[in-house]
Structure 1
Amino acid sequence: MQFVAELVGTFMLVFFGCGAGIVWKSGNINLVGAALTWAAVVTAIVYSIAHISGSHINPSASIALAAVGLFPWKQVPVYVLAQTLGAILASLGLKWLFGADKAVHMMTLPVGPNPDSDLNIMAWEIIVTFMLLLVVCTTAVDPRAAKGLGGVAIGAVVFVDVILAEEISGCSLNPARSFGPALVNNNFSKLWIYIISPTIGAVAATSLYHFLQISNEKETKEAAAKDVFSSAELSRHGHENPIYSSC
């Protein structure tokens, strides 16, 4: 069930998201329209399959969550396989529907003012994926977060990420999202960046969240212990120095 959910979820992500990219680069919508499509489809997927598989739909997310103990490592290969297959199937569908000449527009090739700077592209992908996973952890993973708002928050950060990075790095955020179109178009230029960078950003985000969570739990325990100690002291002094009142 989880395998199917991740496969279908990633299929939807790539089909509608990259489909919007093709429509945008064909001149029928602008970047804001493409970004809104990405945000809307991510939000819809989160609310559709989060209760089934956790709605990772991203190999970097699965790896990063496992790295800090929030997801079992033994399930990572299954999730990554499902996500990769979903991305490939969606890419094949887009190529068939739009044609090979337009299918190249679903790739995450760098298109910014300095496309030869691998370091620049890596930095953008690390930063935008870091922000995405940090929002995922703090709004959807954290049990203290407001219930039911995770999908909206995640969709919002995806929108901002796409607006900022799409025209510079392609705003992959997701190795599967980049691998599927690259395979279908038989163009693996700079693909390694879109596999490594989102994973670095994702692991950094979950590590920070894990650190903050541990720190918060430690502070909570220390505060609770201090309250218990203070209560005990107050009780002891109360017995030693009873205070009587009269009317």
Structure 2
Amino acid sequence: MAEVPVNIEPDSGFCSSPEVVQAIQKVIAELIGTYFLIFAGCCSVVLNNAEKTKGTVTFPGVCLVWGFSVTIMVYSLAHVSGAHFNPAVTITFALYRHFPLKLVPFYIIAQVLGSILASGTLYLLFEIDDNSYFGTKPAGTPIQSFIFEIITSCLLMFVVSAVSTDNRAIGKLGGIAVGMTITVDVFIAGPVSGASMNPARTFGPALVLHVYSGFWAYVVGPLVGALLGATCYNLIRYTDKPLREIGTSSKIFKIASSRPSFR
């Protein structure tokens, strides 16, 4: 008796779709990246300000820790999730159609959860007081911090847009450029606003330690700044063509190329 072939239907479960699996991987990568970024950066703040370890990291050291942490996480996870680690970046990318709108809520949840977990870890490891508080709160007025957050977030998003959305940029150096931008931003805004540039970075410590001073400035400021930064870069984006093609089509470059070379 001949055997009747049996057609085995592939599993049509929720996680069987490659698209769903990739989306889950992206969200997990955002959670992991945000966790280590917030843990490393905030830990340097605690170590520099806590009574027993005061001054061991120094303020320039804190700036470098934030910048290096971003660079490390970008090179580790950008190929998986895009390495946002920041709701303001995610929302801005989605508004400019560089990121699927349907993933925005999941990315934001992962980023906020990563910040909360990192803050909780630091809370368990150290005795946190007013001096060693690792969240962000205004050193002056909330308006002053709000303006600083807009400016620094604008610069950050301007650089992120340049290295991640323009194919004429040198993509391999993108992580270094973003990390250096974070370092500069923390140098100039750290003593004033804490240089958050990231609603998730502020939300985690605020929730764990119940400190909400000027909280609105650290949510609205980065969002406004990120939108301004992306808008500014898009205004100067000439074309998506490579630089050599722009040169051959530009009258200025044609005139320059027709002149005799003195080399």
2:128 and 2:181 mapped to 1: Cα distance?
A: 31
> Percentage identity across aligned positions?
38
Structure 2 residue runs of 5 or longer lacking an equivalent are 1-24, 252-263
Q: Structure 1: which amino acid aligns with 2:178?
A: I
Match of 2:62 among 26, 34, 55: 34
SS of 1:106 mapped into structure 2? coil
Check if 1:24 corresponds to 2:52: no
Counterparts of 1:208-219 in structure 2, within 5 Å, are 208-213=232-237, 215-216=238-239
Match of 2:217 among 181, 187, 193: 193
Does the CA contact (< 8 Å) of 2:31 and 2:110 recur in 1?
yes
Does the CA contact (< 8 Å) of 1:17 and 1:34 recur in 2?
yes
2:234 and 2:189 mapped to 1: Cα distance?
A: 26
Does the CA contact (< 8 Å) of 2:37 and 2:66 recur in 1?
yes
Return 34-43 or 143-152, whichever deviates more: 143-152
Does the CA contact (< 8 Å) of 2:166 and 2:240 recur in 1?
no
Structure 1 residue runs of 5 or longer lacking an equivalent are 228-247
Does the CA contact (< 8 Å) of 1:135 and 1:157 recur in 2?
yes
Residues 185-231 of structure 1, C-alpha deviations (whole Å, 9 max, x = no match) = 01212111101100100011112222322x4359x99999999xxxx
Using a 3 Å threshold, how does the CA distance of structure 1 residues 181 and 146 change in structure 2: closer, same or farther? same
Count of aligned pairs: 221
Q: Structure 2: which amino acid aligns with 1:5?
A: A
TM-score, normalising length: structure 1: 0.83
Match of 1:61 among 89, 92, 97: 89
Q: Specify which structure has the bigger relative contact order, considering alpha-carbon pairs within 8 angstroms and separated by 6 or more residues.
A: 1
2:65 and 2:249 mapped to 1: Cα distance?
A: 49
Q: Structure 1: which amino acid aligns with 2:123?
A: K
Does the CA contact (< 8 Å) of 2:77 and 2:83 recur in 1?
yes
Check if 1:175 corresponds to 2:199: yes
**Greater helix share, 1 or 2?**
1
Does the CA contact (< 8 Å) of 1:135 and 1:153 recur in 2?
yes
TM-score, normalising length: structure 2: 0.79
Check if 1:106 corresponds to 2:97: no
**Which position in structure 1 is the counterpart of 2:33?**
9
Counterparts of 1:89-168 in structure 2, within 5 Å, are 89-101=117-129, 105-111=133-139, 115=140, 117-168=141-192
Structure 1 stretches of 4+ with a deviation exceeding 4 A read 220-227
Does the CA contact (< 8 Å) of 2:29 and 2:80 recur in 1?
yes
Alignment RMSD (CA, Å): 2.2
1:73 and 1:11 mapped to 2: Cα distance?
A: 23
Using a 3 Å threshold, how does the CA distance of structure 1 residues 53 and 103 change in structure 2: closer, same or farther? farther
